[in-house]
Amino acid sequence: MRNPYDYYITPEEYEIAEKNGVCASTLRSRIYDLCWSKERAIHTPPIKNHLWREVKEIALSNGIAKNTFEKRIKLGWDLNQAITQRPMNSKEIAKMREQKKKRVFTNEQIRRARLNGISYSRLWERVKKCKWDAERAIHTPILSKLQIGIMAKEASPWSKIVIPSREEIMKRRKLAYIVN
């Protein structure tokens, strides 16, 4: 529990905070509102977000809003690039998306996959999501549900448990009666 005297800020503490770059209103807010300890409130320098004020005119002349600028800085953009590179319009965005959509496979690879019964979407899923190499994705046939079940059963730790047959259970019972 905190002592009521922890909330009293002495003039000396105001001076120390001022030397550390913490103004009086920030110090009061940290101690009274945020319940920081005096040491932390006095010695932690405030976060200055004055970057926008310095580059505001250049950014606005390039058509960059404050939110766009802050988002670019958060994403790790270089300061010069963040204030000078104009935002893209919808046509430029569409063009860039088309370039990213370019095909991953050649027509020959798609043809070979189709001959093996593998659709383009399955081929893409195997390469992109499952991280298979292209040749393995093309040549590995699609498994039937029966084959999938057999593979799952073999991989399961429960398949290694031996369940005795009815005859074996009956033999054990007979042996138990004979022993007694």
User: Which helix (H) or strand (E) element contains residue 74?
Assistant: helix 66-74
Mean pLDDT, residues 14-41:
90
Residue 179 pLDDT class (50, 70, 90 cuts): low
Share of the chain above pLDDT 70, in %: 91
pLDDT digits (tens, 9 = 90+) for 73-121: 888 888 889 889 888 888 888 888 887 776 678 889 999 999 999 998 8
- Taken in order 6, 11, 14, 19, the sign of the CA dihedral is negative
pLDDT digits (tens, 9 = 90+) for 9-27: 999 999 999 999 899 999 9
Indicate if the pLDDT at residue 48 is higher than 80: no
The pLDDT of residue 19 is 92
Indicate if the pLDDT at residue 1 is higher than 60: no
Residue 178 pLDDT class (50, 70, 90 cuts): low
Other Cβ atoms within 10 Å of 64 Cβ, number: 20
Other Cβ atoms within 10 Å of 12 Cβ, number: 8
What does pLDDT average to over the chain?
A: 85
Indicate if the pLDDT at residue 180 is higher than 60: no
- Identify which has the larger pLDDT, 175 or 98: 98
Indicate if the pLDDT at residue 126 is higher than 70: yes
The winner for highest mean pLDDT among 17-26, 48-57, 123-132 is: 17-26
The pLDDT of residue 159 is 76
Indicate if the pLDDT at residue 63 is higher than 60: yes
**Contact indicator for 85, 68 with CB cutoff of 8 Å:** no
Mean pLDDT, residues 52-80:
87
Distance CA 17, CA 23 (A): 7
